């Protein structure tokens, strides 16, 4: 057995290094009170202005007058919404009547004393209220994401939860909302913490080895034990980094790329899906030159649909750049939809040009468009020939975008393909942001470096593990790395 007290002391001391200092806690208590509009600016029934910080009591006393009472005379009751008049702090004039609610620290979003003022949402009311607040001592306008940053600094949420809150605010589809909720609940946090814990336990073992050396005070096999733990952690992280575990598609959305030969009806399909004239459609082959993106909600998923230039050899500089971009877009697509023109296939003896054929796999959805323009008596036979021209097992849909044949089946079919292909049951992907991926990739490199070392290099090995643990800490923000924090919080709106 490794000496328990030694291991325990090491784990405790490493943890101590990574938690926030008391000094920081003191700094938090003396900071300014912040305010911001928490609702979108503009004309509306109600706007909510949030105020948080050590001067909240004074703010309330100065500008909130409960109906039927004197200014600030009522007791500030936690989480109780009251009808009130709101006064200008400069001259005492009633600027609006509305509602106010107080949240007593630490039972608030930021964990500080917080008030929310509900007023009529008009430019005049809000600008008067804002200037009144900024006139109060120790009070200033909040920066982007500052309320959330305070919640994070107080340890109420970790960085993955802060990111999930931003995702929730930005969610447009049901899948995005569901996944953001999971993050807000702290599911990712728990899993990242468990990984970090594994790295720390392995580090404690290795450090004990440095102090005592194997065989003396420490049980034989301690080094192997640490290596086993690291190998397991490495496998776990590698699994989460694998292409099948891309959780980013739940938050940022997945990309659907429409590709095919010129004039097949790719842009017509985009317009049909978007239900507007998003792309130019003409009978001239080579109309679309660049990649065009439209974000849509398909079956609750955020799907970024891309229209691309028709794939063909071209001596035209602009078109050939478009063709190159189209090829890259298909390569990077989560879902590729190939649009072919059935009359065109009939004319060229059912030959799919290589430039297109090389992108068609069993994962591709192939659409045989313009079925309205072929002889109905021969449609069945031609569809069979077309099927033979594509890889066996490729899902094929005969359609006419112009006449509407097969279009409602196509919409339902696409929704089914997306649900079936990207829905995850049980083994939930962990990585929902590129930032997490970057930290896990770096962790993996440090773990690999550790595993490449032998027991004779135990000091170096400990260093690699320390880096790995630090990299994992950056995901949840357990170690304050200013540039990581700034990058996360600057994505927020003011008022959150
Ligand atoms: N008959 C028939 N014509 C169609 C159908 N769908 C699209 N078209 C026509 O085919 C022509 C080309 O359509 P687009 O949507 O511009 O084709 P594209 O694949 O985007 O073409 P490029 O941008 O040049 O690569 C237009 O004249 C459309 O009106 C269809 O279902 N039937
Ligand atoms: Mg086009």
Summarize pLDDT for 98-140 with one digit per residue, the tens. Answer: 999 999 999 999 999 999 999 999 999 999 999 999 999 999 9
Task: Tell me the mean pLDDT in the region 75-94.
Answer: 92
- Residue in 75, 28, 77 with CA at minimum distance from that of residue 53: 28
Instruction: Please say whether the beta carbons of 464 and 447 come within 8 A.
Output: yes
Atom of ligand 1 nearest to the CA of 309: 25
pLDDT over 50 at 387, yes or no: yes
Q: Of 444, 436, 445, 438, whose CA–CA distance to 477 is shortest?
A: 436
Joined together, the tokens standing for residue 272 give 């049909």
Q: Could you tell me if 356 and 259 are in contact, meaning their C-beta atoms sit under 8 angstroms apart?
A: yes
Q: How confident is the model over 194-244, as pLDDT tens digits?
A: 999 899 889 988 888 887 765 555 566 889 999 999 999 999 999 999 877
What is the side-by-side strand order in the sheet with 44-52? Answer: 64-66, 82-87, 94-103, 114-121, 44-52, 33-37, 139-141
Q: Grade residue 478 by pLDDT with cuts at 50, 70 and 90.
A: confident
Looking at the chain, the number of H-run helices and the number of E-run strands are: 19, 13
Q: Contact, 209 vs 222, CB < 8 A?
A: yes
Atom of ligand 1 nearest to the CA of 283: 27
Which of 257, 266, 272, 281 gets mutated to test ligand 1 (max ligand atoms within 8 A of its CB)?
Answer: 281
How does DSSP classify residue 14?
Answer: H
Mean pLDDT of 423-442: 85
- Is the CB of residue 308 below 6 angstroms from any atom belonging to ligand 1? no
Q: What tokens were used for 162?
A: 């802060």
| Ligand 1 mutation pick, 263, 325, 356, max ligand atoms within 8 A of CB | 263
Which pLDDT score is estimated for 15? 47
Ligand 1 atom nearest to 400, measured from its CA: 31
- Token pair, residue 90, equals 């400069």
Q: Is the CB of 286 under 6 A from ligand 1?
A: yes
Nearest CA to ligand 1 atom 7: 265
Question: What distance in Å separates the CA atoms of residue 234 and residue 457, rounded to the nearest whole number?
Answer: 20
Lookup result for tokens 């706007």? 47
Residue 482 confidence class, pLDDT cut points 50, 70, 90: low
**262 CB near ligand 1 (under 6 Å):** yes
Predicted confidence (pLDDT) per residue in 324-333, tens digit: 999 999 999 9
CB 173 near ligand 1, within 6 Å: no
Minimum CA distance residue for ligand 1 atom 27: 283
Average pLDDT over residues 46-56: 97
Q: Determine the Cα–Cα distance for residues 43 and 47; give it in Å rounded to an integer.
A: 9
- Which region, left, alpha or beta, applies to residue 141 given φ > 0 means left and ψ of -120 to 50 means alpha? beta
How far, in Å, is the centroid of ligand 2 from the Cα of 233?
48
Please check the confidence at residue 365 and state whether its pLDDT lies above 50: yes
If DSSP codes are grouped into helix, strand and coil, which group holds residue 29?
Answer: helix
How remote is the CA of residue 391 from the centroid of ligand 2, in Å? 25
Least Cα distance to 266 among 126, 137, 369 occurs for 369
C-alpha Rg value of the chain to the nearest Å: 30
Taking CB atoms within 8 Å and a gap of at least 24, the contacts of 435-440 are 435/163, 435/475, 435/484, 435/487, 435/488, 436/160, 436/188, 436/192, 436/475, 437/241, 437/248, 439/471, 439/472, 439/474, 439/475, 440/237, 440/240, 440/241, 440/471, 440/472, 440/475
How crowded is the C-beta side of 311, counted as CA atoms within 13 Å?
A: 23
Tell me, using a 6 A CB cutoff, whether residue 264 lines ligand 1. yes
**Nearest residue to 108 (alpha-carbon basis) of 138, 57, 150:** 150
CB of 271 within 6 A of ligand 1: the answer is no
Alpha-carbon gap, residue 478 to 473, rounded angstroms: 5
* Residue 12: band (very low, low, confident or very high) from pLDDT cuts 50, 70, 90: very low
Closest CA to 294 of 278, 282, 310, 281: 278
Ligand 2 mean position to 411 CA, how many Å? Answer: 20
Whether the CB of 439 sits within 6 Å of ligand 1: no
- Asked if residue 288 has its Cβ within 6 Å of ligand 1, the reply is yes
Q: How far apart are CA 2 and CA 218, in angstroms?
A: 5
**Ligand 1: which residue has its CA nearest to atom 32?**
370
Phi-psi region of 393 (alpha: psi -120 to 50; beta: other; left: phi over 0): left
Distance 291 CA to ligand 2 centre (A): 10
Q: Which ligand is nearest to the CA of 405?
A: 1
Residue 438: which pLDDT band, with cuts at 50, 70 and 90?
A: very high
User: What is the DSSP secondary-structure string of 400-412?
Assistant: -TTT-TTHHHHHH
Instruction: Specify the range with the lowest mean pLDDT, choosing from 135-139, 141-145, 205-209, 343-347.
Output: 205-209
C-alpha–C-alpha distance, residues 399 and 380, integer Å:
13
Lowest mean pLDDT among 293-307, 393-407, 412-426, 452-466: 412-426
Instruction: Using a pLDDT cut of 90, give the percent of the chain over it.
Output: 73
Query: Quick one: pLDDT at residue 46?
Result: 97
| Beta carbon of 370 within 6 Å of any ligand 1 atom | yes
Name the band, by pLDDT with cuts 50, 70 and 90, for residue 491. Answer: low
The rounded mean pLDDT for the chain is: 89
What is the spatial distance between Cα 188 and Cα 475, in angstroms, rounded to a whole number?
10
pLDDT of 16 higher than 50: no
Domains of the chain: 28-142 (3.30.1360.120), 165-244+430-491 (1.20.120.430), 248-422 (3.40.50.300)
Ligand 1 center–CA 345 separation, angstroms: 14
Residue 356: predicted pLDDT? 96
Checking if the pLDDT of 359 tops 60, the result is: yes
């Amino acid at each position: 057995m490794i000496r328990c007290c030694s291991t325990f002391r090491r784990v405790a001391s490493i943890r101590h290094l990574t938690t926030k200092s008391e000094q920081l806690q003191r700094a938090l208590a003396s900071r300014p009170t912040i305010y911001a509009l928490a609702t979108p600016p503009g004309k509306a029934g109600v706007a909510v202005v949030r105020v948080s910080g050590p001067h909240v009591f004074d703010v309330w006393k100065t500008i909130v007058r409960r109906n039927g009472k004197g200014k600030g005379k009522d007791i500030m009751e936690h989480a109780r919404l009251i009808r009130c008049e709101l006064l200008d702090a400069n001259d005492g004039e009633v600027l609006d009547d509305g509602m106010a609610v107080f949240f007593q620290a630490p039972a608030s979003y930021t964990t500080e004393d917080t008030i929310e003022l509900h007023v009529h949402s008009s430019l005049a009311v809000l600008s008067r209220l804002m200037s009144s607040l900024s006139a109060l001592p120790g009070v200033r306008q909040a920066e982007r994401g500052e309320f959330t940053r305070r919640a994070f600094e107080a340890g109420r949420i970790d960085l993955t939860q802060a990111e999930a809150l931003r995702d929730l605010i930005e969610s447009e589809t049901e899948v995005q909302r569901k996944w953001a909720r999971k993050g807000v609940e702290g599911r990712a946090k728990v899993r990242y913490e468990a990984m970090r814990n594994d790295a720390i336990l392995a580090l404690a073992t290795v450090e004990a080895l440095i102090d005592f050396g194997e065989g003396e005070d420490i049980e034989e096999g301690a080094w192997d034990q640490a290596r086993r733990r690291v190998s397991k952690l490495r496998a776990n992280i590698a699994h989460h980094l694998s292409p099948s575990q891309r959780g980013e598609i739940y938050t940022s959305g997945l990309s659907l790329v429409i590709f095919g030969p010129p004039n097949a009806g790719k842009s017509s399909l985009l317009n049909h899906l978007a239900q507007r004239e998003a792309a130019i459609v003409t009978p001239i082959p080579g109309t679309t030159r660049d990649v065009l993106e439209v974000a849509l909600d398909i079956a609750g998923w955020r799907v970024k649909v891309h229209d691309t230039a028709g794939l063909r050899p071209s001596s035209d500089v602009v078109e050939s750049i478009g063709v190159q971009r189209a090829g890259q877009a298909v390569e990077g697509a989560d879902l590729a939809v190939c649009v072919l023109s059935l009359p065109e296939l009939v004319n060229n003896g059912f030959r799919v040009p290589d430039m297109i054929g090389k992108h068609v796999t069993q994962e591709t959805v192939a659409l045989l468009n313009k079925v309205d323009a072929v002889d109905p008596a021969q449609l069945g036979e031609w569809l069979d020939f077309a099927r033979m021209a594509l890889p066996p097992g490729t899902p094929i849909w005969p359609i006419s975008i112009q006449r509407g044949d097969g279009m409602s089946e196509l919409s339902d079919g696409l929704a089914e393909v997306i649900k079936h292909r990207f829905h995850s049951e049980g083994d939930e992907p962990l990585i929902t942001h590129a930032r997490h991926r970057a930290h896990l990739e770096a962790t993996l490199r440090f773990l690999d470096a550790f595993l490449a070392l032998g027991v004779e290099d135990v000091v170096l090995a400990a260093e690699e593990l320390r880096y790995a643990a630090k990299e994992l800490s950056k995901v949840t923000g357990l170690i304050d790395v200013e540039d990581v924090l700034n990058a996360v919080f600057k994505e927020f709106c003011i008022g959150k």
